[in-house]
Chains A and B, each alone.
Chain A
Amino acid sequence: MTTPLLHVEQLTMKFGGLTAVDAVSFTAERHDITAIIGPNGAGKTTLFNCLTGFYRPTSGALTLTHDLGEYLLERMEGHQIAHQARVARTFQNIRLFEGMTVLENLLVAQHHKLMRASSFLIGGIFKLPSYRHAEEEAVMLATKWLEEVGMADKADWLAGNLPYGDQRRLEIARAMCTDPRMLCLDEPAAGLNPRESAELNQLIKNIRDQHGCGVLLIEHDMSVVMNISDHVVVLDYGKKIAEGTADEVRNNPDVIRAYLGDDEEEEA
């Protein structure tokens, strides 16, 4: 058996007296879409924040293994996790560079590559050919991802002026421009209409199938989860209460209880 892409062991995150994530363990495979579900406040976003270095976990181990090496995420700084361990993420409440254009957003994501090509400053200041070439390539990669998310004609728009659905997709494209090995999506379908949501499912599947990138997906919409996820982890009050395929999880009595208990909240 090969090592899984991500191995979470006994992850715990406490805020003062509140335990937002409580001794959670699971694994995510390289070619899988792993869904993390659970009622509001279950600790899903907090789990992501631990994975991507925004919070330092109170305890536990997070191991990421891929072609570039093995990384102990809990010991790394946020920017190293993105840059070296190649974990990319999106945010529950979209975080784009709103005053910059779509293309610029995608180029910022390729910062390290371009920085190296500009030999830090000199190459860029004098517009050396090697730098110009790298920039052209970066623009090409950006264009490719814009086409993939169906926004090729909007490259020069200000990100802040995009309609909501486009903003969500742009955030995914931006994350993918960092050339990640694992992509963490925090409720990407929130606020999308059914058609957009279906397109999004296709996009996520493409990312898994064509880019060799494992996907970690937080999702509220059960139909999305059932449709595309290979593996589901259920959190409730910070604890993992179930794990398995979509079907297994759907019929798990604990999961039903957790969701029914929160039924009204879900409606609202």
Chain B
Amino acid sequence: MEYFLQQLINGLSLGSIYGLIAIGYTMVYGIIGMINFAHGDIYMIGAFLAVIGFTAIGLVGGLWTPLAVALVLIIAMVFTAAYGWVVERFAYRPLRGSFRLAPLISAIGMSILLQNYVQLVQGARVKPISPVVQGGFELMERDDGFTVNLSYMQIIIIVLTLVLMIVFATLIARTALGRSQRACEQDKTMAALVGINVDRTISLTFVIGAALAAVAGVMVTMYYGVVDFYIGFLAGVKAFTAAVLGGIGSLPGAMIGGILIGLIEAFWAAYFSAEYKDVAAFSILVLALIFRPYGILGRPEVEKV
């Protein structure tokens, strides 16, 4: 029971991170119908910016921790968003209306490019940072001394994700941007006719997705304390799985899917085998795509004739 509870907490924190990344996949898919394969690497860039940020702050003498975290979050979001914007502008926008696999291939190229770029400029070695937020609550203790911990870091992750989700949902539901996005999802030509700036809307979608991925990157850096240039691949696949599982195109779906993947991974690693935990993620992806490609919150598609 205690063990179970601990895995639940771990799974929830992990799942929140996947959910934040999954939103980027789902939004882009919703609006231009492509899988942004490079999104995992955008998240990786966010994580690296966090490493750079925390290291730099540490070198200049440090700051009051909440201030440092806030500062790094903002820096990472801004700079990662720039990457998101450029990726769309350079690799995807020229391909609208090209043949159907072109954007996906371009995205794979982008992913390889980003990974190797970071490897080149930041080095291939694992980057460790000293823990930023330490400590937590001890919730329970079992007779044999096993304790259930809820670390401050986990609280930060879960709360921050919740807050972002609320802000973000409001943004989509209430603002002109959200309306333009939904209009573009339905029909880009019509949207353009009624005066919506389609290019800008799509750009903004990428920017927002990248910023959220950056938050995930910062959280992961603080949570695990290590980052390398390759983390984007696995995290990307898992987050994509989350998006599919929740029903690609659906925002709450992405969050639910993320949490599910986080939980499954945590429990799988705890009760079955840690070595095969990545296989678990891939297997879920494969199964989900085969048996329920429209996801938990999506509706089946009919082949358009």
* A54 interfacial contact with B, CB 8 Å: yes
Contact with B along A21-59 (1 / 0, CB 8 A): 000000000000000000000000100010000110000
Chain A hits for B303, CB < 8 A: 54
* B194 interfacial contact with A, CB 8 Å: no
| Alpha-carbon distance A15/B305, docked complex (angstroms) | 14
* B302 interfacial contact with A, CB 8 Å: yes
**Number of residues in A with C-beta < 8 Å to the partner?**
6
Closest-CB distance, A54 to chain B (whole angstroms)? 5
Closest-CB distance, A12 to chain B (whole angstroms)? 16
Closest-CB distance, A18 to chain B (whole angstroms)? 12
CB <8 Å contact, B302 and A91: no
**Number of residues in B with C-beta < 8 Å to the partner?**
3
Chain A hits for B305, CB < 8 A: 45, 49, 54-55, 91
| Alpha-carbon distance A214/B303, docked complex (angstroms) | 27
Number of contacts between A and B (CB, 8 Å)? 8
**Do most interface residues of chain B lie in helix, strand or loop, or is the interface mixed?**
loop
Chain B's closest residue to A99 (CB) is B99
Closest-CB distance, B138 to chain A (whole angstroms)? 52
| Alpha-carbon distance A91/B305, docked complex (angstroms) | 8
Closest-CB distance, A185 to chain B (whole angstroms)? 15
| Alpha-carbon distance A55/B302, docked complex (angstroms) | 8
Chain A's closest residue to B99 (CB) is A99
Closest-CB distance, A186 to chain B (whole angstroms)? 10
Chain B hits for A49, CB < 8 A: 305
Residues of B165-191 at the interface with A, using a CB-CB cut-off of 8 Å, are none
Residues of B265-305 at the interface with A, using a CB-CB cut-off of 8 Å, are 302-303, 305
Chain B hits for A91, CB < 8 A: 305
Closest-CB distance, A11 to chain B (whole angstroms)? 17
| Alpha-carbon distance A49/B305, docked complex (angstroms) | 8
Nearest first, the 7 closest Cβ-Cβ pairs linking A and B are A54-B305, A49-B305, A54-B303, A55-B302, A91-B305, A15-B302, A45-B305
Interface residues of A (CB under 8 A from B): 15, 45, 49, 54-55, 91
Some 8 contacts from A to B, beta carbons below 8 A apart, are: A15-B302, A45-B305, A49-B305, A54-B303, A54-B305, A55-B302, A55-B305, A91-B305
Apart from A45-B305, A54-B303, list 6 A-B contacts with CB within 8 A. A15-B302, A49-B305, A54-B305, A55-B302, A55-B305, A91-B305
